[in-house]
Structure 1
Amino acid sequence: MRKYLVGGAVRNKILGLPVKDKDWVVVGSTPDFFIKNKYKQVGKKFPVFLHPITNEEYALARTEKKCGVGYKGFEVNYSPYIKLKEDLIRRDITINAIAQDKFGKYFDPCNGLLDIKKRLLRHISPSFSDDPLRVFRVARFAALLFHLGFKICSNTLSLMSSKFLKNEIKHLEIERIWQETEKAFRTKNPNIYLQVLFDCNLISTIFPEIYYLFGLNNKFNYFNKKKFYKQNIFQGLSYISKYTNRVDIKFSFFLQLFNINLICCVTNKRKNYFFKHFLKYIYNFLNRIKAPKKVKNLSLVFIKNINLLINISNISSTEIVILLKKMNAWRNPKIIKKISLLMNCYINFLNIFSKKNKHKGIFYSQYLKNVFKVASTVSFSSISVEIKNGMYIQKELDRLKKLAIDRWKTFNTVNCFKNC
């Protein structure tokens, strides 16, 4: 029995990137060995075992043969006679098909080391098309390694754009696509992931809602002198990625960017109608892709309340209290920090295209934090013991929060005049 370090651990080690998880391939063994040694089995179609102490993954060397549609349609062979080379050449791209033994020697049958030097993402063989999920994996690696100068090989890009793969992708479960999308949005350049899917003509197939919104933006740009094109939306996604790696914040920012041309181009009479349509469209999209609750909630809260948020210093204290309730800020105070970052990045990014805002985004985001902090000083202990009815308690809490914000506004206005 021989074991080899494989996959991302080897690739990242060569590139000088952090190695988070170590995966091992084992040649010349059977499932019985791992079961006897108290490894935990996690694979169903093919045995993958977790080490009882380190929790690292150990997979038996295997080969795969296409026998159906989608990523599940494979016949797997993991006999002890499978060689290391056979296991490596069944993988997706060359830089993921490098193994290393316990002495540090590399086994590289697919020239992955050369492609690392060339900064190329290249498929290993035509069997790449057998698994449609590989298209999303390559797009994700393009985003992950973009800052190191990696690009997708032209032949690989052509294969990813094939009609065969496009049809195979239709059989993928949406949860699997979201998993890769979520990983891509954790990278420094999630815009590259989406750009690759555009280049492969796959956006209309997997994310038809996004494809429609880009098309709608192009129509609006016909009327809009200050045009905000697809590359500006991708630029915005890249911009916020400098400040956070949280998927829910990035995805919320990305979706809101589609609303800019709508706000700029639609007449005031029809603006409310278009906004409701846009909001419902985003809601249906998030449901269809089965986005996690935290992504869905933050996206909808930010988009619903964007106009109030960017004018928060001009709205009344009553409106501020209602806004905080809509955001569910009392039960989920962490949302204030997220919304503040979104506001800061959103306003500052728009300032790149328009210099109308006299304040920087930090002013509005800090304002939100301050009014929430002030309103949070009001609690049940602030209410008179004479008020016992639940409905009146809530009204009294809202009234006291409004008064607290009013006092804070007055105090800050007085200090502002003193300092002038």
Structure 2
Amino acid sequence: MKIYLVGGAIRNKILRLPVKDRDWVVVGSNINFFIKNKYKLVGKKFPVFLHPKTHEEYALARTERKDGFGYKGFKVNFSSNITLKEDLSRRDITINAIAQDKNGKYYDPFNGLKDIKKCILKHISSSFSDDPLRVFRVARFAALLFHLGFSIYKDTLCLMSSDYIKNEIKYLEKERIWQETEKAFKTKNPDIYFKVLFKCNLIEIIFPEIYCLLNLNKKLYFLNKKYFFRQSIFKGLSYVSKFTNKIDIKIAFFFQLFFLNICFCVPNNNKFLFYDIFLGHINNFFIRINVPNKIKNLSLMFIKNINFLVNIHNKSSKEIIFLLKKINAWRNPNIVKKLSILIDCYINFLNIFYKNYFNNSISSGKYLKNVFKISKSISFKSINKNIKNGIEIQKKINELKELSIDNWRSFLNKKLY
């Protein structure tokens, strides 16, 4: 029996990236070894075990044979005579098919080390097409490693674009699509994930809602200049990713750019009609692939309140208090922080991409945080204890909050002007 470290831990160590998980493959053994040594069984379709002390994953070397549709359509053989090379050959790309023994020696039958040096994401064999989830993984690795100069091998791109893959993708569970998409949004360059899927002509199948939004207008005409609509969307996603690693913020920004850009091309008399269509598309996106509600809610909150947030300097204190109440800011102060990041990124991006579109003397995000901080300082303790009626109490609290914001704004205006 031999045990090897495999996969992402080796790849990341060579690339000097953080190693989060270590996976092991066991060659020349059987299930009895794990049971005897008190490993915990966690695999269903094939046996995967957790080490009793390190809790790292150990799996028997195995082979897979296509026997159905989707990523589940395989027959698995994990007998004790499966070799290390056979196990590595079933993996997706060469840089993930490197093993290392206890002495530190590498086993690299598919030249993964060479491809790491060449910064190439390359499939191991034509059986790559058997598992449609690999398309998402390669697109995600392209996003993850983009800053290191990695690109996808041309023949791998051809496999990812094949009609066979397009048919197989239809059998993927929506949870798996979301898992890979979520991981892609966590990278520094999530725009690359979508660019790869777009290049492979898979967006229409995988994300039909995004496909519809991308194709509502091919080009954007603004300020007498031509901008490619698709380019601005991807640039925006890349831009916001420089300032945050929060996926809910990135997704909210992503969808707001669709709404912004297409609105520039929609006649005024059709804007309300389009708004309903737009919200329908993104709602379908969130529901169809089971995106968590907290992510969905931030996106909808940002889109529905974008005009207010952009012009918050010009809104009355009463209107600001109403907004803070509407977004449930006092019970969930973190939402203010996220909206502040979103609105500042939004304004700054537009000023770069559309040449000084906004001209605010103070950032809207900072303004939002300040008025929230001021309003938060007013509570039940701030009012006359003789007031007993609940409605009167809330009314008085709101009045004091408005007064405090008015005083701060008066001071700010004197300071600025």
Offset of residue 219 of structure 1: 6.3
Name the residue aligned to 1:105.
105
Stretch deviating more after TM superposition (261-270 or 336-345): 261-270
CA 1:400–1:262: 2 relative to 1, 3 Å: farther
Assess if the C-alpha contact under 8 Å between 2:10 and 2:99 holds in 1.
Answer: yes
| Cα distance in 1 for residues equivalent to 2:380 and 2:46 | 57
| Cα distance in 2 for residues equivalent to 1:370 and 1:220 | 35
| Cα distance in 1 for residues equivalent to 2:226 and 2:316 | 31
Give the counterpart letter for 1:359 in structure 2: N
Give the counterpart letter for 2:254 in structure 1: F
Deviations 1:300-352 (A, max 9, x none): 11111000001010111111111112221111101111111111111111001
Name the residue aligned to 1:51.
51
How many aligned residue pairs are there? 416
Name the residue aligned to 2:357.
356
Deviations 1:389-410 (A, max 9, x none): 4444333332322222112112
CA 1:265–1:223: 2 relative to 1, 3 Å: farther
Name the residue aligned to 2:372.
372
Name the residue aligned to 1:70.
70
Name the residue aligned to 1:17.
17
| Cα distance in 1 for residues equivalent to 2:192 and 2:262 | 25
Assess if the C-alpha contact under 8 Å between 1:262 and 1:274 holds in 2.
Answer: no
Instruction: Establish whether residue 194 from structure 1 lines up as the match of residue 194 from structure 2.
Output: yes
| Cα distance in 2 for residues equivalent to 1:391 and 1:127 | 68
Assess if the C-alpha contact under 8 Å between 2:91 and 2:124 holds in 1.
Answer: yes
Name the residue aligned to 2:206.
206
Offset of residue 42 of structure 1: 1.1
| Cα distance in 2 for residues equivalent to 1:268 and 1:169 | 39
Offset of residue 119 of structure 1: 1.1
Gap regions ≥5 residues in structure 1: none
Give the counterpart letter for 1:357 in structure 2: F
Corresponding residue SS for 1:4? strand
Name the residue aligned to 2:147.
147
TM-score normalised to the size of structure 2?
0.95
Assess if the C-alpha contact under 8 Å between 2:229 and 2:261 holds in 1.
Answer: no
Structure 1 stretches of 4+ moved >6 Å: none
Assess if the C-alpha contact under 8 Å between 1:209 and 1:285 holds in 2.
Answer: yes
Gap regions ≥5 residues in structure 2: none
| Cα distance in 2 for residues equivalent to 1:43 and 1:391 | 57
Give the counterpart letter for 1:305 in structure 2: N
Deviations 1:263-321 (A, max 9, x none): 32334443333223322332232122211122111111111100000101011111111
- 1:329-348, aligned counterparts within 5 Å? 329-348=329-348
Instruction: Establish whether residue 311 from structure 1 lines up as the match of residue 311 from structure 2.
Output: yes
Assess if the C-alpha contact under 8 Å between 1:279 and 1:303 holds in 2.
Answer: no
CA RMSD of aligned residues (A): 1.8
Deviations 1:64-115 (A, max 9, x none): 1111111111111111111111100011101100000011111011111111
TM-score normalised to the size of structure 1?
0.95
Offset of residue 262 of structure 1: 3.3
Assess if the C-alpha contact under 8 Å between 1:9 and 1:21 holds in 2.
Answer: yes
Assess if the C-alpha contact under 8 Å between 1:217 and 1:261 holds in 2.
Answer: no
- 1:200-239, aligned counterparts within 5 Å? 200-218=200-218, 221=221, 225=225, 227-239=227-239
Stretch deviating more after TM superposition (75-84 or 254-263): 254-263
Identical-residue share of aligned pairs (%): 66
Give the counterpart letter for 1:154 in structure 2: K
Assess if the C-alpha contact under 8 Å between 2:132 and 2:165 holds in 1.
Answer: yes
CA 1:387–1:212: 2 relative to 1, 3 Å: same
Offset of residue 173 of structure 1: 0.9
| Cα distance in 2 for residues equivalent to 1:273 and 1:401 | 37
| Cα distance in 1 for residues equivalent to 2:314 and 2:9 | 52
| Cα distance in 2 for residues equivalent to 1:219 and 1:204 | 19
